[in-house]
Amino acid sequence: MQSETSIPEYLTDDFSLYLENMTSLADPENPDLLSNYVAMLFEQLKQMPLLFTGMVDQLAMAISTKIRVDSKSLEKISFTLEPSWAEIKPFVGVHPDARACITEIMTHAEQDLKTAVLLIHFYNRYDATPLKAQADEDDQLADDEYHDYDENY
């Protein structure tokens, strides 16, 4: 049985943007599209670490390959209320070539960095498979009523 991933209310808008961006760039006909885009975003971010201030979905994309989130351990935190950066930080590893950039963001845009890390965490745990709808009795009755008719008359 599929479990439902619950996105905290304080993240829903940003998560929707992030999910839409990641999904739209995951093109099976062009498998390098997403990785090339993310690499380009990070190169821009390295040049200007505060480039995506206020655009946490883009920040999350830019750092998604440069940080490692220990989601299994992070799951132990309650997300009912928005956690602080101090609560999140121990579960984040940073690639050596991104340390200066991430430190700059942490110093000047800590809230955006924390939100971006949480977006990555929830995206990594997110199951986009639609939940099966429970059969509605009215729908079953309506279907049964039309089984006797030939649709190809």
Model pLDDT for residues 36-81, shown as the tens digit of each residue: 999 999 999 999 999 999 999 999 999 999 999 999 999 999 999 9
Residues 6+ apart with CB under 8 A from 66: 42, 94, 95, 97, 98, 101, 102
In a domain, 70, yes or no: yes
- Does pTM top 0.85 for this prediction? no
Number of domains in the chain: 1
Asked if the structure places residue 97 within a domain, the reply is yes
Residue 150 lies in a domain: no
Residue 45 within a domain: yes
The verdict on residue 90 lying in a domain is yes
State which residues form the domain around 53. 9-145
pLDDT band at 133 (very low <50, low <70, confident <90, very high): low
DSSP E strand boundaries for the chain: 67-69, 92-94
Domain presence at residue 44: yes
Q: Does any domain span residue 141?
A: yes
- Residue 61, in any domain of the structure: yes
Interval 79-129: pLDDT, tens: 999 999 999 999 999 999 999 999 999 999 999 999 999 999 999 988 665
